[in-house]
Amino acid sequence: MLDMNWIRENTELVRKTAEWKRIELPLDDLLKWDDKRRNLRQTTESQRSQRNELTKEVERLMRQGNRTAGETVKEQVRDINNGLTVLEGELAEADRHCRELLLLVPNPVSQDTPVGRDDRDNVELRRVGELPEFTYAPRDHVELGELHHIIDIPRGVKAGGPRSYVLKGAGLYLHLAVQRLALDVLTARGFTVMDVPVMVRPEALERTGFFPLGIDQTYELNGENRWLAGTSEVSLVSLYSDEIMEMASPLRLAGMSACFRREVGSAGRDVRGLYRVHQFSKIEQVVICENNPAASENMLQEITANAEHILKLLELPYRVMAVCTGDMSQKTHKQVDIETWMPSRGAYGETHSASNLLDFQARRSNIRYRGPDGRLQYCHTLNNTAVATPRILIPLLENHQQEDGSIYIPHALRKYMDGMAKLELPLRQL
């Protein structure tokens, strides 16, 4: 969470940021509770100091054999202790209120973040690749999946409920192939790849900024005091909580995991196919680096470039978007989304999201390092999707479909598909 002194010095910025991000933040309540906490702390420390001095006085009087005076001072010590019990209870309550309210304070946004209400106000930075031109009526990914017997949504719903699916045969292999491609790309670029827990403690979600504001998007395991993470970012960052890092160079991590999201508030949106599902797989980039805005900005550009490289290897057209204030989460300082062209939508659809969090996450997670002067500083953290599937299968199938119904397989994926150059029709019904 952000430093309380900084919040006091920047109350209008905090208030404006909460308004931009549409976060209900009772900032005045936080300031009042902090005032009370400061006063209680000062009074408590003064009373403890007085008690300690009187305790020494009791010892001195007893050594001198003056028991009567000693007992009188002892009574004063007991009165102070009784008062301290009340003060410490009030201080604990003030601390609790401050902490609960501090968890709602948003990370300020970068100066180059566009101001806007929602994703319609995001700003396009660049487009890459040519859009396909079909001389025939193209099929969407659901039709292609059914035609090739590689996607079965009705049976997925039968087993798992709404927004569920089944990938089978070549569909499963494509799902695995894009993940293998991403892992190989990131490994070559200095990332340590990891398979991390997806069942996490609530404090891991709180420390990484997903709780309390994102709790409605997260599945709880009843009776376990654990939750299903919506991204391996939660585990990757939590691995280093309460540690003092070596920051000679940025720590580059890539997590491979299943992900689970409730998608609360998305009723009626993107209900067809694989775009918005409750369970998916993702290769996530996470970087922990020094507390230097220029360094973390460079890392944001690096992890975005990694995602773009993967899309180029998949031979898919995309555009890069500067995300506006109203489309950002509480924890994000600067965000860049990548949207890939999806013919069935007649539009670009989000497939990647890169964020620079500055020290917001590291403060909550207590991840520090020693600077050149030997002083402890909080690290900066960043994250970005390398690839998320099955969503990426939407543009992969739709952009690479052929008039005869076959599907071209990009060269970069073929070594993971046993050399297969395209999915041919017909395929045997499974």
The catalytic residues are 261, 276, 350, 353, 391
Amino acid at position 85, single letter: T
Q: Could you tell me the CA-to-CA distances from 160 to 154, 164, 226, 394 in Å, in that order?
A: 10, 6, 21, 21
Helices (H), 218-351: 233-238, 293-313
- What angle in degrees, to the nearest 10, is found between the helix axes of 11-20 and 27-63? 140
Task: Report whether 330 contacts 205 (CB < 8 A).
Answer: no
Stated as kind and residue range, the H or E segment containing 317 is: none
DSSP output for 350-400: EEEEEEE-TTHHHHHHT-EEE-TTS-EEEPEEEEEEEEEETTTHHHHHHHT
Q: If 0-12 CB within 10 Å is exposed, 13-18 middle and 19+ buried, where does residue 135 land?
A: exposed
Amino acid at position 69, single letter: A
3-state secondary structure of 252: strand
Please name the residues in contact with 95: beta carbons below 8 A apart, sequence gap of 6 or more: 37
